Amino acid sequence: MGDVILWERHAVWAGAVLVRVGILIFGAWQDAHLEVPFTDVDYYVYADAARHVLNGESPFMRHTYRYTPLLAYIMLPCHLVTFSFGKVLFAIMDLVLGALIERTLLFRGVSPRAALWSAATWLWNPMSFTVSTRGNADVLICTMVVATIYLFVKRHLVLGSIMFGLAVHFKIYPLVYAASLLIFLDERYTRKGRSVLNRARLGMFVISASVFLGLLGLFYWMYGWEFVYETYLYHFVRRDNRHNFSPYFYALYLGFAYPSSMFSGLMAFLPQMLPVAVAAYCLGRDLPFAFFVQTVLFVAFNKVSTAQYFIWYWSLVPLVLPYSRASWKRGLFLVAAWFAGELHWLYWAFQLEMVARPVFTMVWLACLAFFAVNCMILMNIIQLHRHTPCFDTSGNVAQLTPSKQ
């Protein structure tokens, strides 16, 4: 069995590396020779922002740059080494994410084969290697989130808290995981008596907040209010009437000519916060599953939901696969239902944006159908999940028994 697992690991990992290398090479060729570029348009935004930083200017001088300045600094080698640096980095982090998935599952007692093939569902997911090799930076936040899970499950409180603070700084949405982490850091984690305000919870809050506020203060000092607005506050008032899978699509379209407000943005966030908070309270001890459910709910209920958001929860799927009682047929049905909902939406979006047909109502109905599909899939996943707290009542790692793998 050991030799078989070793051979399988070599095949899975070597193949994953070669696929990404091959796509990076092909992408460079396509950019140079074909009219339709391979590189994601956002990659040019990151690179332009990095050029401004290199020139001693604000990254926000680049129109539509609405990310942390840290990303622009990460992209500096694009102008100092090679323009493809960012894509190579994202592809490497894509592989690191797969390694973190495998190591997390192994630590939780999942068999080596199950852990490997669960990680393979990410490593060989066309969505993952396409997004990273095209130069989309969302793989960075996905890696930070999975690293946060890994570090907390391993009881590395300080490192986990630092990573969580960094993740929230990088993109504000991981803040929703704070409630799950507070539930997770209970007496099972500390191996001490029950206490609402224990040292682990206090430490997590202080360290994570210090990292977030420290970076916030640094970049506010460097770039002022524009940094705060573009990186964080903009997303409360953001309104996309294109490329938006959200059930709020039609309302945003009808009100697009009117100025948005922070109040209306906050009102849209309130309906999504209730199910996200309930998921944290009910599932927090099973930290990977809590993160997964919260992410699906956050994306599904968000007033803006673009295709790149889907990778946020697809990166967490491998962490919950070994704990599912779903049959292969049920699993394939759920995956097919998700892609059917997406393709249905893409058909009407193509008619609207490429053919210029006035089908806004049909796009909205496709948004509602996709929302319903996501809710149906999530309910099935929750019902078929073997809820397994990361630690048992004695504080030891709760093992997934071989009979359940």
Q: Does residue 393 belong to any structural domain of this protein?
A: yes
Structural domain for 165, as ranges = 2-324+385-404
User: Does residue 161 lie within any of the structural domains?
Assistant: yes
332 in a structural domain: no
Whether residue 334 lies inside any domain: the answer is no
Averaged over 254-264, what is the pLDDT?
55
Residue at 35 is within a domain = yes
In a domain, 217, yes or no: yes
Structural domains in the chain (count): 1
pLDDT (0 to 100) of residue 394:
77
Give the per-residue pLDDT at 255: 66
Residue 3: is its pLDDT beyond 80? no
Q: What's the whole-model pTM score? A: 0.93
Rounded Cα distance, 381 and 293, in Å: 9
pLDDT band at 373 (very low <50, low <70, confident <90, very high): very high
User: For position 152, what pLDDT does the model report?
Assistant: 97
Give domain status of residue 371, yes or no: no
- pLDDT on residue 272: 84
Residue 342 lies in a domain: no
Q: What is the mean pLDDT of residues 40-58?
A: 96
Percent of the chain with pLDDT over 90: 73
Write down the pLDDT at residue 402.
Answer: 46
